[in-house]
C-alpha cells in the first residue's frame, strides 16, 4: 500500500470514529433524558457541552471522554491536511 492509500484509510477511520463517538454520546444523553435542541446536535462541541453539564449534575468525571473526542477531532483535521498536501504533490 502506498502512502496516499494509508492516508485515505486514516481519513476514513477518523471520520468513522468521530461520527461514532458523536452517535454514542447522543444515545447516552438521550437515554438519560438530557434536554437537547435537535438543531444543534451536529454542531461540534454541543454534545460535549451537554455531557459535561450532565456529569457535573451527577458528580461524575467527564475529562476522559472529552479528551478522547478532542484527540479524534485533531486526528481528522491532521488527516485532511496531510491528504491535501499529498494530493498537491507535496508527499
**Mean pLDDT, the chain, integer:** 92
Are 12 and 26 within 8 A, CB to CB? no
Average pLDDT over residues 3-19: 92
**What's the structural domain count of the chain?**
1
Q: Is the pLDDT of residue 50 over 60?
A: yes
pTM over 0.95: no
What residues make up the domain containing 26? 3-87
Place of cell 435537535: 38
| pLDDT tens per residue across span 64-79 | 999 999 999 999 999 9
Are 30 and 22 within 8 A, CB to CB? no
Amino acid at each position: 500500500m502506498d502512502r496516499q492509500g494509508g492516508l485515505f484509510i486514516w481519513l476514513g477511520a477518523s471520520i468513522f470514529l468521530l461520527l461514532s463517538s458523536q452517535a454514542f454520546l447522543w444515545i447516552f444523553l438521550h437515554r438519560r433524558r438530557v434536554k437537547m435542541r435537535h438543531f444543534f446536535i451536529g454542531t461540534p462541541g454541543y454534545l460535549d457541552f451537554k455531557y459535561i453539564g450532565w456529569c457535573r449534575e451527577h458528580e461524575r468525571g467527564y475529562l476522559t471522554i472529552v479528551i478522547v473526542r478532542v484527540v479524534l477531532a485533531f486526528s481528522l483535521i491532521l488527516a485532511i491536511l496531510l491528504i491535501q498536501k499529498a494530493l498537491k504533490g507535496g508527499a
